[in-house]
Copies of this chain bind each other. A is one copy, B any other.
Amino acid sequence: MAKEAKLRRSARLADLALRLLEEPGRTFSLGQLARTYGAAKSSLSEDLSILREVFLRAGIGTIETSPGAAGGARYVPGISRERAENFVHRLVEEVTRPERILPGGFVYLSDLLGRPDILRDVGRIVAAAFASVDVDVVLTVETKGIPIAYAASFALGKPVVIARRDGQITEGSLVTINYLSASSRSIRTMSLSRRAIAEGARVLLVDDFLRGGGTIRGMQELVREFRAEGVGAFVFVEGPAGSGRVVEDVASLVKVEEIDADARTIRAVPGSIFSRAWPSSPWGGLFQIRESEGRSPKHDLTGG
């Protein structure tokens, strides 16, 4: 009997983990969970603290519980500082492999953007970095930003909206803006279905690569056309700033400082997401950027 109960307990814990992981950010009522499992609320509270420790130790986020009669629990995706650092150091090594240099000073990144193991951790870093800004929807422009947008979407549990370069008939009535590409100095277009973003939505802007920042600024403008709000911007890789940027406060994972196509070398470092505030949050080792509170003490990857 004792053994039976032990197995039941273990199975319940694993099932609870699956349930929470499946819907990041969703609050499950403690009372509902107790009924589902036919267990006492006190046992479930104990289960949830065990799971919180397991999640924190695995470095994939935490479980937040709210107390009281209407108490509940939700999975807050994130990543431990240690795991994020290890991941980005491996990524920097990957990105700087000389065979990635393409004619014209471009860097081949498509294979990295195709790998689910990489995207999973990218998503967790985005979730951790923007945990405090309460994202409703993730916006990107076709094509290469899309994998990053879905990485964020899966981690945050929030939908993706994709702006198109051309007006596609299958999208219904469109909102179209023209914007200046800051790096190529040419006029470009992005369009989005009128029904794609709700008024007042809190939008996270993402892209694969940041050069002059024209695309991010274009997305900001597009978001304003919907009377929605851009609450943060994230890119996978940030290139050399060149003649300056038209946007600030874009979080990047990797910063390419120099591409020398002749010498076939790329120099890169961890991106701006690691030089921001990395406070000791209520949930321990996870990092969190609180842009809205204006805190930005400088930390680097090795510093405090």
Contact = CB atoms under 8 A, between A and B. Distances in A.
A195 B15 CA distance: 41
A22 interface: yes
A53 B18 CA distance: 13
Given A23-B117, A172-B108, A54 B14 contact: yes
A108 B171 contact: yes
Interface of A, helix, strand, loop or mixed by DSSP: helix
Contact of A15 (B22, B54, B161): B54
Interface in A169-186: 169-172
A210 to B, nearest CB: 14
Report the interface size class on chain A: 35 or more
Interface stretch (A65-73, A146-154, A242-250, A292-300): A146-154
A53 to B, nearest CB: 7
A15 B58 contact: yes
A142 B7 CA distance: 48
A2 B6 CA distance: 10
Contact of A58 (B13, B18, B150, B164): B18
Contacts of A147: 146, 150, 160
Nearest to A22: B120
Contacts of A51: 14
Contact of A142 (B11, B21, B58, B142): B142
B170 A117 contact: no
A200 interface: no
A134 B153 CA distance: 27
Contact of A60 (B18, B142, B158, B170): B18
A69 B162 CA distance: 50
Interface centre among A7, A55, A104, A106 (most CB of B within 10 A): A7
A106 B169 contact: yes
Interface centre among A53, A57, A103, A159 (most CB of B within 10 A): A159
Interface centre among A23, A50, A60 (most CB of B within 10 A): A50
Interface in A90-106: 102-104, 106
20 contacts: A11-B13, A11-B54, A13-B13, A14-B54, A15-B57, A18-B21, A102-B172, A104-B169, A106-B169, A106-B170, A108-B170, A108-B171, A108-B172, A110-B161, A114-B137, A116-B157, A142-B143, A143-B162, A146-B146, A154-B154
Given A104-B169, A111-B196, 20 more contacts: A10-B10, A11-B50, A14-B54, A15-B58, A17-B17, A17-B18, A18-B55, A19-B58, A22-B120, A103-B169, A106-B169, A110-B193, A116-B150, A116-B157, A116-B158, A119-B150, A142-B142, A142-B143, A143-B143, A146-B147
